[in-house]
Structure formats: structure tokens, C-alpha cells
A and B are shown apart, each in its own frame.
Chain A
Amino acid sequence: EADIYQTPRYLVIGTGKKITLECSQTMGHDKMYWYQQDPGMELHLIHYSYGVNSTEKGDLSSESTVSRIRTEHFPLTLESARPSHTSQYLCASSPGGGSGANVLTFGAGSRLTVL
């Protein structure tokens, strides 16, 4: 049973559209993350948050933005989608402290295709 939910699972949209990928977790985790992954390639961290009202950019430059208004919710927004944004986006969460902080729980992913 999934404790972290991503919607939509699949999205095909045209260039220039604004999109929001939703991510919600029910575990009360403080930390949340967005990774981007192309097929057969490594995961790249694009955004993370270690609590409400805190967000940071990750290692990969991204034109997306995130917000963390509630602990359980960490949406990712693209203001104007382009074909280069075509990828799989993975949301994850982890506890704030203890050895469990290194144990990330991932959602099923949102596969975005921009035409």
C-alpha cells in the first residue's frame, strides 16, 4: 500500500502549458524530494524540502518550482512546459532525523511528455 502518492501518473501536454505535478505523503515525514530521471539514466535531485516553508534547489538545474505549505504536500510546477521537460519525475520523502532519514520512500512517479 503506497504511503506517498503522485498524480498524474502520465501526462501528455503541448508546449507552453502550465502544469503541476502533485505529491502527497501520509507518513508525517519532514523531508521531501523531487528527482528527475530519464530512461536508463541516473536520478537527479531537482528540489528538496526539510520542512514546511523550506525549499531548496537540488543538484540539477531545473525550470520548475516547488512549494511546501503543508507537511504532507509538495507540488512541483512548470510555468511553461517545453519538450526538454519530457522525463519521469519522482517524489520521495524521509523522516527528519535518526538513521531513517537516509531511507527514502518514493512515489510511483509522474511521466511527463511535452509535445
Chain B
Amino acid sequence: LAKTTQPISMDSYEGQEVNITCSHNNIATNDYITWYQQFPSQGPRFIIQGYKTKVTNEVASLFIPADRKSSTLSLPRVSLSDTAVYYCLVGDIRGSTLGRLYFGRGTQLTVWP
């Protein structure tokens, strides 16, 4: 089961772009990379998922280099409400009976006024 390494915490200011990088050196061929956001006293919420290159949605962008051993979540123009814990996960549970994804400690992002 591939595990990930990401910074424990990051600070930013409103309006800035934030990039959170995650290392996953043991990623397997069929693994997808998925990012979640969690606010205090709530369950995590899916942000974005990718397999390779770049994925963009209305919330964030995900950059994945060719070797796929790392990925970078990019949050454009953050606001105070983006203060949360961000988790990077890798895994392939499509049709798999193993059925587990590993949530590490995540990255605590704090956005300041």
C-alpha cells in the first residue's frame, strides 16, 4: 500500500497561490492520486484526482510529473476559508476487494488576512 509524505503545515496569505507537494515514491502503475480537504469537526471532502500530467477543476489544479513519484496540489488565490487540513492519497481500489485508502497526517494550511 503506497504511502505519502507531505509537509505537516504551511502558511499563506489571502490572495496568494498555494502549492502543496506530496511524495509517493512507491506509487504503483494502477494507482490514482487523490486529494481531500478537511475542516475541523467535519469529514474529509474530495477536491481533485489525477493519474498523470495535469488536472484542473473549479477548485484546484493537480500537477503530476512523468515519473508520478510526486504530485502538487495548487490552490489559486486562497482565502481564509481555505484554512484546513489537506490529505494526499494514492491507491487503486477500483473493483478491488482490498478497499482501503491510507490517510496520513495531512498538511495543515493556515491562511492569514
What is A's interface to B at a CB cutoff of 8 Å?
31, 33, 35, 41-43, 45, 48-50, 56, 58-59, 88, 90-92, 94, 96-99, 101-109, 111
Known A50-B99, A58-B100, A94-B93: A42·B106 in contact at CB below 8 Å: yes
A92, B45: Cα distance in complex, Å: 10
A108 touches B46 (CB 8 A): no
Most chain B CB within 10 A, of A41, A43, A96, A98, is at: A43
B93 touches A99 (CB 8 A): no
What is B's interface to A at a CB cutoff of 8 Å?
32, 34, 36, 41-46, 49, 51, 89, 91-97, 99-106
A64, B94: Cα distance in complex, Å: 27
Quick one: which of A45, A50, A102, A106 contacts B43, CB cutoff 8 A? A106
Known A94-B93, A97-B95, A102-B94: A43·B44 in contact at CB below 8 Å: yes
Report B28 CB to chain A, min CB distance, Å.
13
Q: Is the interface of B mostly helix, strand, loop or mixed?
A: loop
A89, B93: Cα distance in complex, Å: 22
Contacts of B44 in A (CB 8 A): 43, 90, 104, 106
In the complex, the 5 A-B pairs of residues with the closest C-beta atoms, listed nearest first: A106-B43, A43-B103, A97-B95, A101-B94, A90-B43
Contacts of A33 in B (CB 8 A): 99-100
Quick one: which of B32, B36, B94, B105 contacts A97, CB cutoff 8 A? B94
Contacts of A109 in B (CB 8 A): 41-43
A106, B89: Cα distance in complex, Å: 15
A92 touches B43 (CB 8 A): yes
Contacts of B96 in A (CB 8 A): 101
Contacts of A45 in B (CB 8 A): 100-102
A41, B40: Cα distance in complex, Å: 11
Known A41-B105, A42-B104: A107·B43 in contact at CB below 8 Å: yes
Find the B residue at minimum CB distance from A45: B100
B34 touches A103 (CB 8 A): yes
B91 touches A48 (CB 8 A): no
B95 touches A99 (CB 8 A): no
